Every structure is written in C-alpha cells, then in structure tokens.
Amino acid sequence: MHQYYQQEDRQLVAVDCVIFGFDKGLLKLLLLKRNFEPGLGKWSLAGGFLQRKESLVEAADRVLCKLTGLKDVFLEQLYAYGNPARDPGERVVSVTYFALLKVEDYYKDLVIENGAHWQAIENIPELLFDHGEMVEKALCRLRLVAKSQPIGFELLPAKFTLPQLQSLYEAIYQKELDKRNFRKKILSMDLLDKLDEKDKSSSKKGAFLYRFNTEKYKELVAKGFYFSLDI
C-alpha cells in the first residue's frame, strides 16, 4: 500500500460505550472502575482503543462483548469527542456508542466479575474525563429514539406486561404516564402479540404477557412506515 498521507499527524482513536439497562423499574447505566492511569480508580464508561483493522462499530462490539459476553445488541453511534485535552494521558479522539441491554440475572454475575456495576441513572457519580457529558448526550438520544422507534423492547425480556413496558417508558422520560393513554398508543401500533399467559409476580390479578412482533415491525419499516410515539 502506498503512503499517500505520510506527513500527517496520527492519533489514538477510542470507542466508549454508554450502556443502558432496565432492572426492577429503574433505568441503569453500566460503569467500570478504571484500573490504569490516568484516572485510575475513577468510574468510567466501557471503552477501548480502535485497532487498525476494525471499523468503529466493530470496536464497540468488541469492547461490549469483552465486558458483557453479549453480541447482537442494539448499538448506535452517538458522537465523536475530540478536544485535545480531554484525556490528560495523550490526545485521544473518542467515538461514543450507546447500547440497550436486558439486565438479566446471569448478566449481573458476568458484569460483577468484570468489576462493572449497574448504577441507577438518577444517581450517577462523577465520571472520568468527559464521560459525564457523553452520558448526558446519550440520555437525550435515548429519549429521542424512544419516540420514533419501539425501542423499549430491547430493554425488556421477550415476554413482558404492559405495566412493565410503561414503567420503562416512565424511567426513560422521568415522568409518570397515564395508563389508558399509554396502552392506547402502544396497542394502536399493532406490533404486540397478546399471549394467553399472565404474569402474577407483581399483582394478585396478574397482567397479560405480550410479545413484540419483530416480523410485523420489519415489514412496516421496509414499507417506510414512521413511528411517532409522542409520549
């Protein structure tokens, strides 16, 4: 390969992942204790350096997989941070991705093994470098995306109840929603299949379980359908 651009500066490029999970009615963020300098001991996002032969999203996948063992998560690029002083160790350009995970039980162990921790978003500690800013932007994006895509289903188990789904949206928007209006909107999308089972873990009466119909969703998206879950 020719060296066309020989005289130009080369930089470290990193990816940092803002990973949201939903557990027991709380929206949570995955944080790690940094175990090297600079910034040793601080809470930080899951990050790593871009390698020569991988794309940005591949790097994000690799970092995420290393940390949680998971592949095939909803992963979206957020923003590139390039302030020359943002990392005091060396100039690093960082591209952030955000991901939504179901916080399932086997997961928690995996995450704890890796020294990671799920922190409720109402109560995020001070973070490494500009990671706090990254989280702010990710929350804005999450709210925006949740409006135009039925995104909630990435954060819930395959079968879920409408009250569970509602409390997820309430966690994302940090406000209470009207039960009747919420159901009307969600069901009018016609993307949920009602099952014959009930979940009785949170009430005596029990709530019907639903399943997201991925085929219908793909079909509609292919037709250019645009969702607007104005909540």
Partner DNA sequence: CCAAAAGTGTTGACCGTACACCCATGA
Partner DNA sequence: TCATGGGTGTACGGTCAACACTTTTGG
Going by the DSSP 8-state scheme, the letter that residue 156 receives in this structure is S
- Cα distances from 182 to residues 110, 179, 193, in angstroms, run 34, 5, 16
Q: How far is the CB of 49 from DNA (least distance, A)?
A: 44
Residue with tokens 């090297």: 36
Q: How far is the CB of 86 from a copy of itself (least distance, A)?
A: 9
Span interacting with DNA, options 6-14, 74-82, 108-116, 203-211, rule CB under 7 A: 203-211
Run of H or E residues at 31 = strand 26-33
Span 82-101, contacts to a copy of itself by CB under 8 A? 82-84, 89-93, 95
36 binds a copy of itself (CB under 8 A): yes
Of residues 58 and 178, the one with the C-beta less far from DNA: 178
2 binds a copy of itself (CB under 8 A): yes
Q: How far is the CB of 134 from a copy of itself (least distance, A)?
A: 13
Beta strand residue intervals within 57-216, DSSP E: 74-81, 92-102, 116-120, 159-161, 192-199, 207-212
From 79, 51, 86, 87, select the one nearest 66 (Cα to Cα).
51
Interface residue with DNA, options 206, 214, 221, 225 (CB under 7 A)? 206
Span 136-195, contacts to DNA by CB under 7 A? 161-163, 178-181, 183-185
- Please name the amino acid found at residue 217: Y
Q: Which does 106 bind (CB under 5 to 8 A by kind): DNA, a copy of itself, none?
A: none
22 binds DNA (CB under 7 A): no
Q: Which long-range contacts (CB under 8 A, 24 or more apart) does 52-60 make?
A: 56/13, 56/15, 56/95, 56/97, 57/97, 59/15, 60/15, 60/17, 60/95, 60/97, 60/99
- Sign of the Cα pseudo-torsion (110, 113, 119, 124, in order): negative
Residue 152 has φ and ψ, to the nearest 5°, of -55, -30
Q: Which does 33 bind (CB under 5 to 8 A by kind): DNA, a copy of itself, none?
A: none
37 binds a copy of itself (CB under 8 A): yes
Of residues 11 and 202, the one with the C-beta less far from DNA: 202
- Provide the binding-site residues for DNA, judged by CB under 7 A: 161-163, 178-181, 183-185, 198, 200, 202-208, 228, 230-231
